[in-house]
Amino acid sequence: MVDTPLPPDAPIAVKDPSRLRLALQSDFIYQFKRSPVAVVSFAITLLLVLSAIFAPLIAPYDPFDPGSLNLMNGFSAPMTPNAFTGDSFWLGTDDQGRDVFSTILYGMRISLFVGAAAVAFAMVLGITLGLLAGYVGGWTETIIMRIADVQLTFPSILVAMLIFGVAKGVTPVEYRDQMAIWVLIIAIGLSDWVQFARVVRGATLVEKNKEYVAAAKLIGRTGPAIMMRHILPNVLSPVLVIATISLALAIIAEATLSFLGVGAPPTQPSLGTLIRIGQGFLFSGEWWILLFPALTLLTLALSVNLLGDWLRDALNPRLR
Amino acid sequence: MTPTLSIRNLTVDIPTRHGTLRPVQDVSYDIAQGEILGVVGESGAGKSMAGNAVIGLLNPPAHIASGEIHLNGTRIDHLQGDDMRRLRGQQIGMVFQDPLTSLNPLLKIGDQLTETMLAHLDISQSEARKRAIAALEEVGIPGAAQRVDSYPHEFSGGMRQRVVIALALCAEPSLIIADEPTTALDVSVQAQIIALLKRLCRDRGTAVMLITHDMGVIAEAADRVAVMYAGQLTELGAVRDVLTAPLHPYTDGLMGSTPLASRGKARLHQIPGAMPRLDALPDGCAFHPRCPRAQADCVRNPGPTLSDGQGRAACFHPLVREDVA
Amino acid sequence: MLAYIIQRVGQSALVLLIVGLVAFSMFRFVGDPIDNMLGQERTQEDIDRLRGQLGLDQPFVMQYVKFLGGAVQGNFGVSYRQGRPVSEILLERAPATLELAAVSGFLAISIGIGLGVFTAIRRNGITANVIMSASLIGVSLPTFLIGILLIYLFSVELGWLPSFGRGETVQVGGWSTGFLTETGLKALILPSITLGLYQMTLIMRLVRSEMLEVLRQDYIRFARARGLRERAVNFRHALKNTLVPVITVTGLQLGSIIAFAIITETVFQWPGVGLLFINAIQFVDIPVMAAYLMLISVMFVGINLIVDLLYFAIDPRLRVDRTGGH
């Protein structure tokens, strides 16, 4: 440690500028413009996210309003007037006469919401535990990282299923459908925090021995303040990359769980639920009920994935 | 008598997006049977690249752009695929710089020896094993009969380089290319390895291209020396002549910056500046920006080219020595 | 080396204990077992008697130890939903899943390594680039969509292969196998491709990148410089070194195959433990969930252990005493 006390006006040891901010200032935008994959996937992601957010304005029908449904419209093929009512639907209708285009918009809303909320939850949890493990060390670190190791042994989708099952078990029966979305968020979030924690812990271990942290301690900053103000900014860019890739994985995880019937309930269908419903009509020839939600899910997952890949290369943190 | 290796006007090109780099330019030299030719120069001077060109292991997109390479009178620079492969190991052996990384860690050294012999010689597995043990004995590995079944990590650095030499020589090639064979070794081991290489090649009449940046190694081992700078041959001659009375100002500077026992306590000098990058070669003689003897014609005209047997230094204004004919 | 193995076995046991604790806690605290086992008409006396029988009046640690003891003997209690011992149901279902996982694992490893080596050696070729691009889509494609796509193509449109179930099975001892009948083998094709595809692309990409790394090494240059045949350089020298890091990931992937079988079994209505597990979640059948968790953990931990031991077989550097050498 430093023996001589710093004079009051001594400059604090120069802090590394946050990598994220540096990247944004320098050639981040330039690189983005140069990469057609990044631009296209970003545009598609943005388009899908916006249409999910503004689904109530864009969707021609409200698929959850029983008043607007006409069972006679069931099984309308895309772009073809219905045999009974003469109504025409862009992407056709399902068995209950719901407009497929509208259900996709609303389904995407749920898929994206669950995905984003789960990643946000995983991120907050992972960052907190990672900072704690890295900064405090000792037993805290051992316990946190051991749990992380054990959890990492299992595929996250399995962990999410188990958590979902247990949470469902502790939820009273009458609330199960209502709570399903939240349970889903917690289950996916809990299955995904480890990556964040590992990266943040690694970065914290590096940062906490740097001079500026010592200097911050010297002028009497407390542990939490140091972690928030000094260490956190330095781990933001790897966290951003993991978050983007996690979002794609979370969307797929949600769709998988819902497809398996252990996710979003039929009353609040996500893209996965819609695909589950559509699979039932695969053999009877109503292909549109399955195809369009599946294509939407694919486009969404692929574009977020490509964006994440590009982000990783552009920010180039040491990630695998 | 035909020299073992004869390089004529060899040029190697690397096409890149920003134009073509020329790491080896118009280089010519011979190595006679049993002769050790030292090739010296700073890193990036093109000495290794020339060696790789000879053994046909240039990393694409690097390629031989012009010139000829003859081995025992046969032209080999245009050989492709399996023809070139058969030449490697059997006609030309190679020793790399770092013995720690040039042996496959997962294979016993005996297996690496026998596979090399079986690839080139028409002998049985058991005969190959016998020869492998003999080869290890010859390079001075104690207890060779037991050590043949050891893995590379069970040897020290110096011992591993002996194994590498045994591997390079096991199919009895007529030329050895040794690329910085002692650079990664402890100083105490370097002399042993050089002595070993020298002895084995004398005994078999193997020609050696000894690539190094270490003048001490050249002085100790080589018969003749070729000095390279920025891809070109700058001086070529008998070791004793070049070392004691260099003609090219670059060799002179190189000698001045090398501590040699023979020159006593003379001050070490250094050549000002650094070797130019290949994508930024100066006009005229490549050495002129650093040359104390540079004159107007050095700036205007590309440096003269050295061909084997004709002249010693590629320089318009070489140092003048009374004792040189 | 022995110390290392003992340490690894110890770690594995610890993992199993932790998972056991999780499984036990599910058992104990999620839903009241008494509620689940006794009907509406119950007396306090019944409840107390059952509590005593189940050992619920004992301290937590004792209950945990008893649970572990039961688990080791394969006793996981009775399924709430089917009213039969869980171990019996699991045993009945296990062959379906294991056969599916074995075929998928074999496909994933053999084709994955083969294509990985191919794309590494021919890294500038057109075919290799097409394979690499296709694999990118393969990684982004959710498993269940692949399954549906295959069903649509080969069952609905072409009508070549069945879209669900195992086909006819033959009982060999206590094991029901689909390997011995034509319908059984046909029924295996689509599910095993679905299940293996994702792992295959992962293994392929990993093998490719590791192999490209290895091909850059000095000892590969030296092997070429010694005039070894291209085939010997690629397979004898490069592939063996590539496999060292690949083995770990591949081992983990094999474990994942058993877990991911849940999805494939649902798509193809394959009567294995995965389908059982999904149904258990839907109906909150805790004993089945706990048992499945323990079963999967044992497999995972076992695979990890085998992978560690395989390292010793393939990498001689690990076999020596660390103090020796140079």
Query: pLDDT tens digits, residue range A144-176?
Result: 888 887 787 777 788 888 888 887 777 777 777
pLDDT at B90: 86
pLDDT at A119: 93
- Rounded to the nearest integer, the mean pLDDT of chain C is 80
Neighbour-count burial for A18-34, b at 16+ CB within 10 Å, e otherwise? ebbeebeeeebeeeeee
For residue A72, the 8-state DSSP code is G
Query: pLDDT tens digits, residue range B86-115?
Result: 888 888 888 888 888 888 888 888 889 988
Q: B154 and C237 in contact by Cβ < 8 A? A: no
The one-letter code for the residue type at C191 is P
**Domain containing A114: what range?**
54-319
- Asked if residue C61 is part of any domain, the answer here is no
- Asked if residue A20 is part of any domain, the answer here is no
Query: How many distinct structural domains can be found in chain C?
Result: 1
- Asked if residue A295 is part of any domain, the answer here is yes
Query: pLDDT tens digits, residue range B208-233?
Result: 999 988 888 888 888 888 888 888 88
Query: How many distinct structural domains can be found in chain A?
Result: 1
Query: Which chains are within 8 Å of A by 3+ CB pairs?
Result: C
Q: What are the chain A neighbours of C141 within 8 Å (beta carbons)? A: 298
- Asked if residue A264 is part of any domain, the answer here is yes
- Asked if residue A22 is part of any domain, the answer here is no
Q: Which 15-44 residues of chain C touch chain A by CB within 8 A?
A: 15, 18-19, 26, 29-31
- Asked if residue C241 is part of any domain, the answer here is yes
What secondary structure does DSSP assign to B201-257, as a single string?
HHHHT-EEEEEES-HHHHHHH-SEEEEEETTEEEEEEEHHHHHHS--SHHHHHHHHT
Query: pLDDT tens digits, residue range C154-213?
Result: 887 887 888 777 877 777 777 777 777 777 888 888 899 888 888 888 888 888 888 888
Higher-confidence position of C243 and A73: C243
Chains A, C: CB pairs < 8 Å: 98
Chain B residue with Cα closest to C326? B156
Q: C219 and B57 in contact by Cβ < 8 A? A: no
Which residues pair with residue B37 across a beta bridge?
B209, B224
- Asked if residue C68 is part of any domain, the answer here is no
DSSP H or E stretch at residue C276: helix C273-282
Given a cut of 70, the residues of chain A with pLDDT beneath it are 1-28, 65-90, 97, 316-320
Give the residue among B203, B177, B181, B205 at the shortest CA–CA distance from B192: B181
**Domain containing C210: what range?**
94-282+297-323
Q: What are the chain C neighbours of B76 within 8 Å (beta carbons)? A: none
Give the residue among B232, B249, B198 at the shortest CA–CA distance from B49: B232
The one-letter code for the residue type at B314 is A
Average pLDDT over residues C131-138: 78
Chain C closest CA to B174's CA: distance in Å? 13
Average pLDDT over residues B236-247: 83
Q: Is C319's pLDDT higher than 70?
A: no
- Asked if residue C211 is part of any domain, the answer here is yes
* Overall fold of domain B1-91+175-184+209-317: Rossmann fold (3.40.50)
**CA separation (Å) from B36 to A161, B49, B200, C23, C62?**
71, 18, 12, 74, 81
Residue A309, domain CATH: 1.10.3720.10
pLDDT at A123: 92
Q: What are the chain C neighbours of B116 within 8 Å (beta carbons)? A: 226-228
pLDDT at A317: 47
- CB-based contact (8 Å) between C140 and chain A? yes
- Asked if residue A49 is part of any domain, the answer here is no
- Asked if residue A25 is part of any domain, the answer here is no
pLDDT at A10: 41
- Asked if residue A13 is part of any domain, the answer here is no
Q: What are the chain C neighbours of B107 within 8 Å (beta carbons)? A: 236-237, 240
Residue C271, domain CATH: 1.10.3720.10
Q: Which residue in A165, A248, A282 is closest to C151 by CB distance?
A: A282
